[in-house]
């Protein structure tokens, strides 16, 4: 059984329209991978497919993790296996506090009931680690939150649940530079040998603060180029069009 997330020849459609056209990807435990690409390239489709969103139809391919093809599992079973998705557009849940939401999620994913005092201690430890004020936990989840606060709530969820494999879908989307730095700092505190992280992003800027081990560029539903962290800087300098042309010539 491997702790790698291995995506093999994945083809995915939405309402009959093909979005992914043979994605092959490996994310190792303890590794930070960046998946970059222009808008509409299929990055978020990959994220939602991995977590089992019913909107997406898998036409072909597999996604293996811990000895199981996760595409055959229900979304909650994937979460219990250790997969996690941070949403690009987190939803507001009025009437449900951040604390209650996180404790319910923890009990469901870990498949055990944590005592309230123990959870409060855990939550405070993680909030202190991420430099989040205690009052944050008493607010209703994402209700009235700024864009930066919503993303920090996602990173707090990541810290509390401690998944083995985390997919961060455009965590930098809509953030100003100060909020971006705060969120990136939070992610950096959670990077370690026990967690694999796939950062999905359109821009290179978040990678100024979170250093990836591997960078993959996705275009038209497939990965056209892979490399080390220097590939993100190359993309920033050349732009997507030039990188795509080079990939087509070398194919």
Confidence of residue 159 (pLDDT cuts 50, 70, 90): very high
pLDDT tops 70 at residue 1: no
Dihedral of the alpha carbons of 21, 158, 144, 209, in degrees to the nearest 10? -80
20-38: pLDDT as tens digits = 999 999 999 999 999 999 8
149: CATH: 3.40.50.300
Q: What is the pLDDT of residue 200?
A: 95
pLDDT tops 90 at residue 69: yes
Q: What is the pLDDT of residue 28?
A: 94
| Number of domains composing the chain | 1
129-141: pLDDT as tens digits = 888 888 999 999 9
- Containing structural domain, residue 31: 5-250
Q: Flag the least confident range among 9-13, 17-21, 72-76, 84-88.
A: 84-88
Q: What is the pLDDT of residue 251?
A: 57
Q: What is the pLDDT of residue 130?
A: 85
Mean of all residue pLDDT scores within the chain:
91
Confidence of residue 240 (pLDDT cuts 50, 70, 90): confident
């Amino acid at each position: 059984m491997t702790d790698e997330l291995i995506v093999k020849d994945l083809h995915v459609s939405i309402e009959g329209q093909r979005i992914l056209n043979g994605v092959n990807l490996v994310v190792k435990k303890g590794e930070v991978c960046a998946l970059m690409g222009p808008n509409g390239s299929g990055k978020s489709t990959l994220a939602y497919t991995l977590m089992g969103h019913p909107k997406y139809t898998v036409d072909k391919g597999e996604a293996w993790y811990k000895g199981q093809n996760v595409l055959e599992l229900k979304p909650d079973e994937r979460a219990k296996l250790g997969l996690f998705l941070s949403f690009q557009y987190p939803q507001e849940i009025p009437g449900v506090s951040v604390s209650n939401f996180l404790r319910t999620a923890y009990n469901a994913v870990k498949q055990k009931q944590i005592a309230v005092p123990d959870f409060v201690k855990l939550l405070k430890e993680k909030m202190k680690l991420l430099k989040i004020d205690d009052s944050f936990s008493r607010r209703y989840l994402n209700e009235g939150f700024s864009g930066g606060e919503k993303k920090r709530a996602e990173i707090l969820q990541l810290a509390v649940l401690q998944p083995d494999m985390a997919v961060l879908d455009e965590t930098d989307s809509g953030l100003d530079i100060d909020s971006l730095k705060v969120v990136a700092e939070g992610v950096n505190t959670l990077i370690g040998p026990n967690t694999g992280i796939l950062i999905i992003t359109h821009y290179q800027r978040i990678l100024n603060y979170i250093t990836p081990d591997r960078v993959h560029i996705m275009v038209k539903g497939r990965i056209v180029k892979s490399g080390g962290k220097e590939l993100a800087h190359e993309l920033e300098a050349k732009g997507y069009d030039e990188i795509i042309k080079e990939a087509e010539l070398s194919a």
